Structure 1
């Protein structure tokens, strides 16, 4: 191992310089207990010092019990825990960015998922697909293909900001089949998840002070992201048919919607509302951002085409990802939009992170082309359909005195509205004590009076766990009623 040490031979006490830097690496945790240091001869050659100087520094640190020599093996960081690291200086108290830093630190992000060790035994968190259904063998084979392609064709170099042509073509074909999206490969941009697609659109389309419209209740990350760009964000209420178009401000230049599976309530936008929304966008010169986050899992009713597929005027930017269909950890998503907008967003992506990882792009292109994605969605659909049915049974049966389900046709979360006032904080806390992770609906309201209820994700919980876990919730509710 080559240590990052800088010794100034023009200054006195070379041994002291070495000791201070190695001591700092150990106390700062950058050299772990038991880690081997370079031999004195090698380190002396790297630093242009005499071997005697390095040996003396090692000896001094051994005397301080920070290093230990092992005959025949070398010099190692002592196994005993080093003293605590010296505190690092904090940001200057009168920084010119204090106000902005404070605003970002104060953000409330209710959709942050718990750490793997922090979740409950029975988790109803939304947006989390079933990890046990992930097609490990098929993905491993495609990933090996991706690594070979990256070595042979990309040659480990930078790639296009828009994404690999092979993946853009595969995404365009898949969306045409699955969601009725009409787009050429040149109108597809590969992103690091749908969240980056939203971020890039906000950078390109939003200016400080401009008005944008979002659903109320809605996806808070989208609202916060738009506010971070300086937009005036207006919440537009939804009803059983989706976004109420008449309530959209005329000056809104960007309108964010989830028409296939409204987040978080779950109902689809009616055909009449879709037509009215497209007409509004055309009349007022607005861009519609259609977040199609999990609509490929459909359980009943006639499949509805995307808003983008109905658009004849080039007003819709269609956003999606493979986080729900495959795995959030892959961080692969896409944006479909008219070519001028794609070219502008591609420039923004180039400045942000240049491009998404190429081996994973090669792998996903092969995974889609070989039909593995469609097969995987089919397997997941069966599992999620069973869980959805069990949830509806429980909400219509044992939990009916307290909650009413909002009907959903797609996705893998549903909302359960409270039938009467509840102490939601106590419910969530007591449910957590009996190993059930529940999540409230009211955090997704930013304006006006929120409705009480739960958002029940059923991607991360086994079907067999649903009845016993909700029986625990029922017992908690009975306790609260008592």
Structure 2
């Protein structure tokens, strides 16, 4: 790695080089064993005599910062150095730039998907698929092939709308599996659901426009719209989903999770879905449908998407591969009505031009070769077993402490607290003690946008094996009532 050295004037050049290299060593930028640039190379770069650099190096060696090895070069000393000092922070508190006022109250969501111990004995974090069961052996040759094509110069910048093969594969996949009425031209590939929401907001919303979200609901969606200057209004949900009659008439867009409400888990009833579409048509509003983990269903009839019921072009359908494959792939998509296509593609271009082309191309093959469908079938069986286990244990042993919210899909279940755990402080204390005992678990208020949500737990079962579920629940909720 090149070392940046800046010379000021023509005085004490060796001393300037010495002091800057010493500072880099003290600050940990140059680590024990790292090579210093050859004296000839650094002298040429700085336009000084080679001897000038040599004097600086000799001083570093003499003072114990470096070792010189004949024929090999000069290296940062591996022993005897003090602990690197942290570089002092620049104090700019009273200077320069300020964010827009709306950012003062916003901060990243401490998502249970990314927080908590990844080495917990019992991992009930929300929204995580089981990465251990991903078909890496099938995926590896697909991505390797695309990387070889990139290395050969066969791939340049991509289409902002996404890889043509992937858009065609997606149109077939969601058409067959979810009944979404679409063509490849309707699809825009994104890096995530979060980016899809951001692009939709850029295209549809003016600062001050009202966006309705479910309450309790998904915090990152609320955060995205707040960051764009929207007026975000929480709309209550009940056993049938969003209360459509509670949506303010001046609402420009409504964000919903109808197949598996986040975080409670119930589907939106057909009656409510029909009412929401009527409301959107009457008010000229957009409905943003997040179908985030609907591939995994364990009972009952499949829930029709709002997009498949929409006949007036008001629904924007959003999905991703974070739950069905791996979050680290960073591939999502949206399906938009035709009038929004050009604007959304332009918004994607201005955001990051396009999603990684090799990943898109490999994913297209993964879908077309039937590997995605095979993986979903396998995981559906695995998750169904875990869903059955967690619901059985909560119902049979802990009904006095946990009221299970009926759910037949997804990767988590929610249970409202009962008895003494209905007190928020008691619930928080129980969650804290469970974490201390090696259980990654979260309360409803920790995963919902509405911090006054009814006390309860949200139990993810995507990354916990079935045998670990029952003992993990016992650690959270205590000895079962029949002991």
Cα distance in 2 for residues equivalent to 1:56 and 1:82: 25
Alpha-carbon spacing, 1:227–1:101, altered in 2? closer, same or farther (3 Å): closer
Report the CA distance between 1:162 and its aligned residue. 1.1
SS of the residue corresponding to residue 126 of structure 1 reads coil
Which residue of the partner structure matches residue 161 of structure 2?
162
CA contact (8 A) 1:395 1:403 kept: yes
Report the CA distance between 1:430 and its aligned residue. 1.0
Alpha-carbon spacing, 1:117–1:44, altered in 2? closer, same or farther (3 Å): farther
Give 1:58-207 correspondences, 5 Å limit. Answer: 58-79=57-78, 80-81=81-82, 83-97=84-98, 100=101, 103=104, 107=107, 109-114=109-114, 119-151=119-151, 155-207=154-206
Runs of 5+ in structure 2 lacking a partner? none
Report the CA distance between 1:180 and its aligned residue. 0.7
Cα distance in 2 for residues equivalent to 1:198 and 1:102: 18
1:299-319 Cα distance to aligned partner (Å, 9 max, x none): 111112211111111111111
Report the CA distance between 1:20 and its aligned residue. 2.9
CA contact (8 A) 1:390 1:463 kept: yes
Report the CA distance between 1:210 and its aligned residue. 1.0
Which residue of the partner structure matches residue 333 of structure 1?
332
Which residue of the partner structure matches residue 457 of structure 2?
454
> Is 1:473 aligned to 2:460, yes or no?
no
> Is 1:434 aligned to 2:437, yes or no?
yes
Bigger shift: 32-41 or 363-372?
Answer: 32-41
Which residue of the partner structure matches residue 305 of structure 1?
304
1:144-168 Cα distance to aligned partner (Å, 9 max, x none): 222234345x634211111111111
Bigger shift: 209-218 or 47-56?
Answer: 47-56
SS of the residue corresponding to residue 318 of structure 1 reads strand
Bigger shift: 365-374 or 349-358?
Answer: 349-358
Alpha-carbon spacing, 1:141–1:447, altered in 2? closer, same or farther (3 Å): closer
CA contact (8 A) 1:179 1:306 kept: yes
Alpha-carbon spacing, 1:381–1:315, altered in 2? closer, same or farther (3 Å): same
SS of the residue corresponding to residue 404 of structure 1 reads strand
Cα distance in 2 for residues equivalent to 1:449 and 1:121: 30
CA RMSD of aligned residues (A): 2.1
Report the CA distance between 1:83 and its aligned residue. 4.2
Which residue of the partner structure matches residue 425 of structure 1?
428
Report the CA distance between 1:44 and its aligned residue. 1.9
SS of the residue corresponding to residue 397 of structure 1 reads helix
Alpha-carbon spacing, 1:192–1:391, altered in 2? closer, same or farther (3 Å): same
Which residue of the partner structure matches residue 227 of structure 1?
226
Cα distance in 1 for residues equivalent to 2:280 and 2:100: 35
CA contact (8 A) 1:125 1:456 kept: yes
Cα distance in 1 for residues equivalent to 2:122 and 2:309: 40
Cα distance in 2 for residues equivalent to 1:477 and 1:206: 50
Which residue of the partner structure matches residue 4 of structure 1?
4
Report the CA distance between 1:467 and its aligned residue. 1.2
Alpha-carbon spacing, 1:340–1:437, altered in 2? closer, same or farther (3 Å): same
TM-score of the superposed pair, with normalisation by structure 2:
0.93
Cα distance in 1 for residues equivalent to 2:341 and 2:183: 12
Cα distance in 1 for residues equivalent to 2:349 and 2:94: 34
1:335-371 Cα distance to aligned partner (Å, 9 max, x none): 1101331321221121111111111111101101100
Which residue of the partner structure matches residue 27 of structure 2?
28
1:281-322 Cα distance to aligned partner (Å, 9 max, x none): 000000000000000101111112211111111111111100
Alpha-carbon spacing, 1:292–1:264, altered in 2? closer, same or farther (3 Å): same
Cα distance in 1 for residues equivalent to 2:278 and 2:203: 23
Runs of 5+ in structure 1 lacking a partner? none
CA contact (8 A) 2:102 2:229 kept: no
Cα distance in 2 for residues equivalent to 1:372 and 1:40: 55
1:188-238 Cα distance to aligned partner (Å, 9 max, x none): 111111111111112222221111100011001111111111111111111
Give 1:365-384 correspondences, 5 Å limit. Answer: 365-384=364-383
Report the CA distance between 1:82 and its aligned residue. 5.3
1:382-440 Cα distance to aligned partner (Å, 9 max, x none): 11000000011111111111001111121111111112324111111111122112111
Which residue of the partner structure matches residue 389 of structure 2?
390
Report the CA distance between 1:111 and its aligned residue. 1.6
Cα distance in 1 for residues equivalent to 2:477 and 2:172: 46
Which residue of the partner structure matches residue 44 of structure 2?
45
Alpha-carbon spacing, 1:86–1:64, altered in 2? closer, same or farther (3 Å): farther
CA contact (8 A) 2:251 2:285 kept: yes
Which residue of the partner structure matches residue 413 of structure 1?
412
